[in-house]
Amino acid sequence: MKDDRFLIITGLSGSGKTCVSRFLEDQGYYCIDNLPAKMIPILVDLWKRKEVEIGKTALVVDVRESGFSRKLPDVLDEIPGGSRPKLIFLEAADKTLIKRFSESRRPHPLSRSGSVVEGIALERENLAEIRNMADEVIDTSEMTVVQLREMLMLRFSPKKQRIMQVLVLSFGYKYGIPLDSDLVFDSRFLSNPYYVDRLRDKTGKTKPVRDYVMAAEDTSLYLESLTGFLEFVLPRFVKEGKSYLTIAIGCTGGKHRSVVLADEIGKYLRQKKYKSRIYHRDMYK
């Protein structure tokens, strides 16, 4: 097999395995953390015979399991060569690992005395055989989290698949800010159609309300500012490897101003060829 559809991610504690797992999950992998080594052949067999509905799989395994360094080589030897998952080993220099443990204030899992240096040395020794078996070794010593994600993007995401999906969501502040918002913009300072009798019961999807909101000079200036900001930030989200982005635009009730602005932002995104959709959460409340 030895392709990218079934991966085993392992390596030194603090080398970035969690970051890799989160990235792969964003890319559509079914990620399993800390699976006991002896269960790997069973999962590989089920996956190969398509008895589990999983297209791409990534297992994160490491020294959290007792006897891991002894078990994994034996387990991998049990798997027929044509079915063996690709083994990716992450490592980093001692100086980098010490710094990361210091910043996180976590104890090293193999440290007996509380010394991070001792734990790193013991883990490096224990995992030497597994490192030698690896199909790929990734050294993260000089990488920030963003740089690691950029490297993974180049490695695991074909160019045609590097698409960020954008949701533009209108909402009413009286019903609460959407919890999954990445960017939140407030339109409550714009003239409110609610106070115009003929518009109060209509929504921002109707022409009279839209014309009223769009006629205001502040609306044009605000949209110009928003699109300018998005022009700057969206390519950087794509470069960072973000797969999903939610842009939330709110007004008081989520029925008039935010609906109009969300539709305008959606139109802008389509013009810029972003994969996007629009959802008006509170329009009919």
**Residues 285 and 218: beta-carbon distance below 8 Å:** no
Share of the chain above pLDDT 70, in %: 96
pTM (whole model) above 0.75:
no
Mean pLDDT of 179-197: 94
pLDDT of 216 over the 90 cut: yes
Mean pLDDT of 39-57: 87
Whether residue 145 sits in one domain with residue 89: yes
- Asked if residue 285 belongs to a domain, the reply is no
Whether residue 108 sits in one domain with residue 183: no
- Secondary structure (DSSP) of 182-198: SEEEE-TTSPPGGGSTT
- Asked if residue 1 belongs to a domain, the reply is no
Whether residue 172 sits in one domain with residue 149: no
Whether residue 222 sits in one domain with residue 178: yes
Q: Of 102, 124, 159, at which residue does a domain stop? A: 159
- Would you state the pLDDT for residue 161? 52
- Would you state the pLDDT for residue 210? 97
Mean pLDDT of 143-153: 83
User: The tokens 């300072």 sit on which residue?
Assistant: 189
| Alpha-carbon radius of gyration of the chain | 25
**Residues 193 and 271: beta-carbon distance below 8 Å:** no
- Would you state the pLDDT for residue 108? 87
Q: What is the pLDDT of residues 124-140, one digit of tens each?
A: 999 999 999 999 999 99
pLDDT of 176 over the 90 cut: yes
- Would you state the pLDDT for residue 162? 54
User: Nearest to residue 112, comparing CAs of 103, 121, 101, 125?
Assistant: 121
- Asked if residue 78 belongs to a domain, the reply is yes
Two tokens, residue 159? 């160019």
- Would you state the pLDDT for residue 39? 93
Whether residue 105 sits in one domain with residue 190: no
> Please, which residues have CB within 8 angstroms of residue 56's CB and are 6 or more apart in sequence?
4, 5, 6, 24, 27, 28, 29, 30
147: domain CATH number is 3.40.50.300
Counting every residue written for the chain, the total comes to 285
Q: What is the pLDDT of residues 233-244, one digit of tens each?
A: 999 888 777 778
Task: Give the separation between CA 141 and CA 159, rounded to whole angstroms.
Answer: 26
pLDDT of 1 over the 80 cut: no
Q: Of 112, 144, 159, at which residue does a domain stop? A: 159
Position 80 confidence tier, pLDDT thresholds 50, 70, 90: confident
Q: What is the DSSP letter of 1?
A: -
User: Nearest to residue 56, comparing CAs of 80, 36, 31, 33?
Assistant: 31
Task: Give the separation between CA 213 and CA 196, rounded to whole angstroms.
Answer: 12
Mean pLDDT of 52-80: 89
Phi, psi dihedrals of residue 2, rounded to the nearest 5°: 45, 40
Whether residue 214 sits in one domain with residue 120: no
Position 4 confidence tier, pLDDT thresholds 50, 70, 90: confident
* Parent domain of 230: 165-280
